[in-house]
Structure 1
Amino acid sequence: MAENSIIAIGRQFGSGGHEVGRRIAAELGLKLYDKELLKTVAEQSNICEQVLQDYDEKPTNSLLYSIVMDVYPSMNYVGNTLSQQVYQAQYETIRRLGEKGGCVIVGRAADYILRDNPRLTSVFIHSSMRFRLDRVMEFEHIDENKAKDMILKADKKRASFYNFQTEKKWGAASSYNLSLDTSDIGIDGCVRMIELYLEQKKKGQHKSQN
């Protein structure tokens, strides 16, 4: 089952969500899509990768577009704004990935886009502010004030994007199958918990079929 699993990972900035995704993908032999997703979208659309990066995980500004996507989630709709077109291109690419083999997708509301896929397991990675500050300061080589500003802005952008595009709330435990704290159990602990969840999910599915 693991080789066909789709794992969608939401994450707080600085919590190590990308690293969790990278490691679980390596453990299970799955393709990882984070920034790599933008390249895939660019290859399958007429939108250049730089534009995709500029609009990455930012909410569109059209209420009509949101309504249309809720009513007709699979239609090939191209909105009037570039941000709408970027979201639609990402949406279609993620849907196509979900129709193929297993993979790990970080962010981009993939858990919502693939919510009707039985192979999906959705995970939210979070951690304490102290843990996140230390990581961001180390990787970005900045002081604590700048790190905190970066964290707050990134989380606000991700929450706005997710809450706008979905019927769920970003970071709420009820929005995901698993909610894991890297400051409590570490990156490796989160990877192990995801593996255990997949194992139990497989057992549960076998029982329901018998």
Structure 2
Amino acid sequence: MENFAITIARQYGSGGRTVGKMLAEKLAVPFYDKQIIQMASDESGIDVKLFGQVEGGMSVKPSLFNKSGLYKGDLIPPTDKGFISDENLFNYQAKVVTDLADKESCVIVGRCVNYVFKDRPNTLRVFVHAPWDFRVEKSRGKISGGDEEIEKFLRKDDKRKQEYYRRFAGGDWSDATNYDLCLNAGKMGFEKCVEAILAQMEVMGIGK
């Protein structure tokens, strides 16, 4: 069996990360999320805080080489001024997830991996979303403050993810055409989402 990769993009509060973890456990494969940032830092030698800043929407340094910002797959060497540019930080994360998928089957959450793996065989790209009220409810306890603060956070996070995706992948982060499968976790529930992903893997012949 060839290695397979399941990529999961998700709205905050939709439960996409939970679905990803449940899926990884079901498939008995590794699950990767925020640890990718540390791995990219270790790989490049660049301070992990800089990776966090770019992901959080704070620009570190625009690239002098890649004006469009879209991922091209090339790393900028340490001797060049663009080494710690936003684009190169993204490139290192893309290299890490690519190396991981080359080495083993896995489930990867976030970081525009659906775009990085858009032409990769044996890959299923999933987007998990949910109704607004569901997202607010699931965010309680994770975000301090009342519903007004939670809703403000969710709008800001959606905007951040959209801008991040547009910058490094182009297009619309929530556009269904960027994915192979879109799931409404609020209506389906997490277990049914996992079942739907497994069924889609069967249809596409992934993991065989």
After the TM superposition, list the runs of 4 or more consecutive aligned residues in structure 1 that deviate by more than 3 angstroms.
57-64, 66-70
In 2, Cα distance between the equivalents of 1:80 and 1:102?
30
After TM superposition, list the pairs within 5 Å mapping 1:119-158 onto structure 2: 119-158=122-161
In 2, Cα distance between the equivalents of 1:47 and 1:157?
23
Q: Which amino acid aligns with 1:65?
A: N
Q: Deviations over 1:12-62 (max 9, x none)?
A: 111111111111111101111111111221221111223222222648655
In 2, Cα distance between the equivalents of 1:81 and 1:29?
36
Q: Which amino acid aligns with 2:119?
A: D
Between Structure 1 and Structure 2, the one with more helix by share is 1
Of 114-123 and 45-54, deviating more is 45-54
2:87 match: 84
Q: TM-score, normalised by structure 1?
A: 0.86
1:65 match: 66
The answer as to whether partners of 1:59 and 1:161 remain within 8 angstroms in 2 is no
Q: 1:99 to 1:58 in 2, by over 3 A?
A: farther
2:121 match: 118
1:189 to 184, 192, 204: 192
In 2, Cα distance between the equivalents of 1:174 and 1:74?
22
Number of residues of Structure 1 aligned to a counterpart in Structure 2 = 202
Q: Deviations over 1:70-108 (max 9, x none)?
A: 6xx232225265323311211221221232221111110
Computed over aligned residues only, the root mean square deviation of the Cα atoms, in angstroms, reads 2.4
Q: 1:9 to 1:63 in 2, by over 3 A?
A: farther
Q: 1:117 to 1:36 in 2, by over 3 A?
A: same
Unaligned runs of 5+ in 1: none
Is 2:18 the partner of 1:8? no
Of 13-22 and 35-44, deviating more is 35-44
Q: 1:14 to 1:40 in 2, by over 3 A?
A: same
Identity %: 27
Q: CA deviation at 1:139?
A: 2.6
In 2, Cα distance between the equivalents of 1:202 and 1:159?
31
In 2, Cα distance between the equivalents of 1:29 and 1:178?
21
Unaligned runs of 5+ in 2: none
Q: TM-score, normalised by structure 2?
A: 0.87
- What SS is found at the alignment partner of 1:122? strand
